[in-house]
Structure 1
Amino acid sequence: MVRYYIAGGIIAASVIIYALIQCILSDARRVRSISKPAWILTIVLLPLLGALLWFWLGRPLGAAPATGAAGNSGYYAPGRSTAPDDDDAFLRQLERQRELKKREEELKRREEELKKREKDAGNDPQAD
């Protein structure tokens, strides 16, 4: 009988540790129901129940870590690089850089136009 309790304890500990690791490695934006830190606390404070709730209600759908020889199973894997055009932050940064460059070119054009006007006004004989 004691062997069953020990085996059950080992299985429960394994489920809890697996749930905790999976929660920590998951993307915070894709976690369902409550926030990622709240899920970590739930798993730690309500050990088996929290782990089971994580699998049922919190785990991102289709978010298993990448497996296989190439490491590319089509699932989200933390730390795996993505194409730049799939990264929203990268695209926003590019747009900001384009806008900044456009503004700088406009400012430079206006400065040159202003210098040209000042030069023409200084050479204008009727300006006196």
Structure 2
Amino acid sequence: MARVNTLLFLVTVALTVVAVIDCLATERDRVQHFPRGAWLVLVIVCPLAGAIAWFRAGRAAPGAGRPAVPGWAVVPAAPIGPDDDPEFLRMLAEKIRNR
């Protein structure tokens, strides 16, 4: 039984350390719901629940469709379709004018 308790303790410590490092390394605009300092306090004071909360709700998922900071717009990396591509629209307008 002591081995299981030791293993659970080590897993909790490892998860807490990884969550603290990840919280410190995450870019400021990807931290959600609370400020970074509040997340650090939550992870340290409540190691297991805080770490799980951080990984589930504290940071925006890579490529998330909504902005991490309210009021900020998500800028697409590239045009989604031809009607969103200004170069394509310019070329199409020139073709129509040259007919």
| TM-score higher than 0.5 | yes
Q: Which residue number in structure 2 is paired with residue 33 of structure 1?
A: 33
- Displacement of 1:59 after TM fit? 2.0
Q: Indicate conservation of the 8 Å contact 1:26/1:60, yes or no.
A: no
**Runs of 5+ in structure 1 lacking a partner?**
64-128
How many positions carry a matched residue from both structures? 63
1:10 matched to 2:40: no
- The percent of aligned pairs where both chains have the same amino acid is 27
In the TM superposition, structure 1's runs of 4+ consecutive aligned residues that sit over 2 Å from their partners are none
Alpha-carbon separation, structure 2, partners of 1:39 and 1:4: 29
Q: TM-score, normalised by structure 1?
A: 0.47
Give the alignment's Cα RMSD to 1 decimal: 1.3
User: What are the residue-to-residue correspondences of 1:1-128 with 2, within 5 Å?
Assistant: 1-62=1-62
Displacement of 1:28 after TM fit?
1.3
Q: By how many angstroms is 1:60 displaced? A: 2.4
Using the alignment, how far apart are the partners of 2:2 and 2:10 within structure 1? 12
Gapped runs of 5+ residues in structure 2?
A: 64-99
What CA distance in whole angstroms lies between the structure 2 residues aligned with 1:59 and 1:31? 5
The answer to whether the 8 Å contact 1:19/1:43 transfers is: yes
